A = this chain, B = another copy of it.
């Protein structure tokens, strides 16, 4: 899939540039000052890292409707800021207690716990600044809709809620059943991935039917993404993941791999990737890059 791989690389480069500009030392209008240490921690958390899958999904979904401009990139970066904040807080000693992320020290190791908490807070806050501000889209109704969608998929009833269920599960007497694992994952990782695709549609002015198709695609892709992650963890590709592998088994954590077994989990992953591709039928060959993204998400080795 040379076209897909080159698109993914191109998007990552463009996103990196915008994130670098957003995280500049220059205060915006209405800001008093940008404290150097906090900004450095935010840059450590955000720049030079990751596949930028969420921005990619937003950008490619918007492109289906002919929208590709700097505003789309800004919206994509807002999503990435939320993703990066969640990693900073999840890595804290009080949460998953990870020292390494993408082979580099986590923010609380490179700085300290208090700075990491604040950096996460400020990244989350900045995401809403970027999403809501005029350069992102000329229509304020679109920006407000993106802000609300981002909040709803990231907060109590979305990503943060999923992390809470995950922490609950570690303390629970019995491992979660399949329905509970699926709900947890749909919130913790699925909600933001699905919303990335939906947000592209919102920016592009998608019809309700097209938005529903994008949502189906995003939900299936998100579920496939998480099973693929669980499979990678179970197979223990420590080096490729750049973090300790086999952690789920260490914690006796229920995943679809532990519940279904490795082979059935792989079948389900492939079935979800196929379902994601099928959901794109209304968009014809113009959605081939998103189809490739579904295959990549399911079969990635890192």
Which residues of A line the B interface, CB within 8 A?
27-28, 30-35, 37-39, 42, 85, 89, 92, 94-95, 112-115, 117-118, 120-122, 124-126, 128-129, 131-134, 139-141, 143-145, 147-158, 160-161, 163-165, 167-168, 183, 186-187, 191
Partner of A128 from the list B128, B164, B183 (CB cut-off 8 Å) is B128
Other A-B contacts than A118-B160, A126-B156, A144-B147, 9 sampled, CB-CB below 8 A, are A32-B186, A34-B161, A35-B156, A38-B164, A89-B118, A94-B94, A128-B128, A129-B148, A139-B140
Please indicate the chain B residues that have their CB under 8 angstroms from the CB of A118 in the complex: 89, 160, 163-164, 167
Given A33-B187, A37-B164, A117-B94, A27 and B125 touching (CB < 8 A)?
A: no
Shortest beta-carbon distance from A125 to chain B in Å: 3
Given A31-B152, A32-B157, A161-B32, A125 and B124 touching (CB < 8 A)?
A: yes
Shortest beta-carbon distance from A236 to chain B in Å: 26
Closest to A147 in B: B132
Contact, CB under 8 Å: B42 / A156: yes
CA distance A282 to B155 in the complex (A): 41
CA distance A38 to B74 in the complex (A): 30
Given A94-B117, A186-B32, A155 and B126 touching (CB < 8 A)?
A: yes
Closest to A187 in B: B32
Please indicate the chain B residues that have their CB under 8 angstroms from the CB of A30 in the complex: 149, 152-153, 157
Given A33-B183, A160-B121, A129 and B151 touching (CB < 8 A)?
A: yes
Partner of A31 from the list B34, B158, B167 (CB cut-off 8 Å) is B158
A-B contact pairs, 30 of them (CB 8 A): A27-B157, A28-B157, A30-B153, A30-B157, A31-B161, A32-B157, A33-B157, A35-B156, A35-B168, A37-B164, A38-B164, A39-B156, A42-B156, A85-B121, A89-B121, A94-B113, A118-B163, A121-B160, A124-B124, A124-B125, A125-B151, A125-B154, A126-B151, A128-B128, A128-B148, A129-B148, A129-B152, A132-B147, A143-B144, A144-B144
CA distance A125 to B148 in the complex (A): 9
CA distance A95 to B108 in the complex (A): 13
Shortest beta-carbon distance from A184 to chain B in Å: 9
Contact, CB under 8 Å: B191 / A122: no
Partner of A152 from the list B28, B143, B157, B187 (CB cut-off 8 Å) is B28
